[in-house]
Amino acid sequence: MEALCDGCGKCCLNKLEDIDTGELIFTRVACRLFDDSTCKCSNYTQRKSIVPECVVLTPDTLDDIAYWMPQTCAYRLLHEGSPLPDWHPLVTGDPDSTHKAQISMRGRTVSETAIDVEDWEDYPLTP
């Protein structure tokens, strides 16, 4: 896991973009490599070769992909000049604080292998 990552798993969710408005809609449909119980990638080191569309977050790519990151993402927040939320593990010192605050996707997703892409809109992420 990356240093700032809070372990929420939201970056691994499939997103839909309204072609007319540009609105980004997060779904509960997770990447086929996402482990719903740990909120981690099941094959992190080889994810890009298995899932070519997987976004690799680096300081150089952040300008282009911050829009696709969850609004609570520490990388996005710091990039935008915002502070980390109170529940973030780097603030609390507790690696499970994201899960305790019910921010994570633990137990809340369905795999993209189980849902036709045409049905993803039926699985919006709700707070």
- Residues 9 and 86: their CA atoms lie apart, in Å, by 18
The secondary structure of 54-103 as a DSSP string is: -----TTTHHHHGGGS-TT-HHHHHHTTPPPPTTSHHHHS-TTHHHHTT-
* 127 in any annotated domain: no
In a domain, 35, yes or no: yes
Query: Is position 46 within any domain?
Result: yes
Summarised one tens digit per residue, pLDDT across range 25-62 is 999 999 999 999 999 999 999 999 999 999 888 878 88
The model's pTM: 0.90
- Residue 1 domain-assigned (yes or no): no
Domain total in the chain: 1
Tokens of 100: 């305790």
- Residue 65 tokens, joined: 């992909």
Residue 5 covered by a domain: no
Range of 94's domain? 10-122
Mean pLDDT of the chain: 93
Residue 121: what pLDDT? 94
